Amino acid sequence: MRILITGPSGAVGAALAQALAGTHELRGMAREPARVDPRLGLEVIRADAVTGAGLAPALDGIEVAYYLIHSMEPAGSSFTLRDRDAALNFAGAAARAGVRRIVYLGGILPRGAPASRHLASRHEVERILLDAVPDSVALRASIVIGAQSRSFRAIVRLVERLPVIPLPSWARHRTQPIDERDAIAYLAAAAVEPRAGGRALDIGGPEVLSYGAMIKRIAAALLLQRPTLAVPGVGGLDSALAAAISGIPRDLLGPLMASLGSDLIADDAEARALLRVPLHGLDAAIERALRQWESIEPLRAR
C-alpha cells in the first residue's frame, strides 16, 4: 500500500514510519525535509498544508494518508485558523488525488461539557477530513505517554523542578493516558481495517485516573517523593507558571492545559473491538518513556 506520513519529523510520525517500514511503500511530507531523520529511509516531499504548496506531488499516487499536523506553534494568527486552513487544503488535495483514506490523530471530546478551543479545533479538523474523504478514520486520544509528548514532558519537568507539587482544581478530573506504542499500533491498524472507515474512534490505555494521581505515578517512577498541595484554579496563570517552570513555550502549553477542565475519558469499546490492539499498563508506559528520554538527555531525578 502507498502511504503518506505527514509530520515525519515529529515523535508520532517518526515512530509510525518505523512501525510501517518494510510493510508498505512509504512517503513523508514535511515543511523542512532536512529535519526528518534520514535513518527512517523515507522519500520526503516538501509541502506545507497551511499554504497548500506542494500538496499535489506529496499526495500523488497515495492510497492512505496519515494526517499528523497540528498548528500549535507561536505565530501571528490563531492556531484554530491555521488548523482549519491546513485541514481544508489537505482534504481538498487528498480528494482530488483520489486518496482512499485519511487517518487522523485528534483529541477526546469531554462528555457533558463544552470543549476547549484546542479540542474544538481538533474536532473541526476531524469533520473536515471525514467530509472530504468519507472512508477516513479519526482516532481520538487523551494524553499520549511518550518521551517526546509535550504533555508528558511538561509533567516530568514540573515534578523534577518543584519541591512541592501544586494540584489545581483541574487535577481532580480524570483522563485515560495511552502508551505511545499503543497509539502507534492503533494508527497502523486504522489504515487497513475496512470496518473502521468513516468512523471517529476513541482510544485509550487500560487505566482511568485523575490527573493528580497520574502526576503522583510519574513522580514515583522518577524515584521522587514530592508532597502535593491543593490550590484553587487560577486560570491563565496556571499555564504561565507551568511554562516558566517546564521550559515549554506558553503558546504550546496553554491550549493543552485549557483542556484539563473536565474528564477526558475514552469510550474505546468500538476501537478495541475493531482494531484489536493489546494495551500496555500506565506504569510500563511511563517507565519506557523515561528510559527513552534518558537515552537522549539526562533527567535530574534519575
pLDDT per position as a tens digit, 231-245: 765 444 466 666 676
The pLDDT value recorded for residue 298 is 80
* Beta strands per DSSP E along the chain: 2-6, 25-30, 43-46, 64-67, 101-107, 137-141, 144-145, 165-167, 174-175, 178-179, 199-202, 209-210, 228-230
The pLDDT value recorded for residue 75 is 45
Rounded-to-integer distance, Cα 75 and Cα 247, Å:
18
Rounded-to-integer distance, Cα 42 and Cα 66, Å:
14
Q: What average pLDDT score do residues 40-61 get? A: 96
pLDDT over threshold 70, residue 251: no
Three-state DSSP class for 200? Answer: strand
For 165, phi then psi, to 5°, come to -95, 115
Q: What average pLDDT score do residues 263-286 get? A: 97
Provide the CATH topology of domain 2-142+178-203+266-279: Rossmann fold (3.40.50)
Angle 44-72-28 from CA coordinates, rounded to 5°: 10
Q: pLDDT band at residue 80, thresholds of 50, 70 and 90?
A: confident
The pLDDT value recorded for residue 168 is 80
* Beta strands per DSSP E along 71-163: 101-107, 137-141, 144-145
Q: pLDDT band at residue 53, thresholds of 50, 70 and 90?
A: very high
pTM of the entire predicted model? 0.92
Q: What average pLDDT score do residues 95-103 get? A: 98
Break the chain into its structural domains and give their ranges: 2-142+178-203+266-279
The pLDDT value recorded for residue 76 is 44
Residues in the chain: 302
Bridge-based pairing state of the strands 64-67 and 2-6: parallel
pLDDT over threshold 50, residue 100: yes
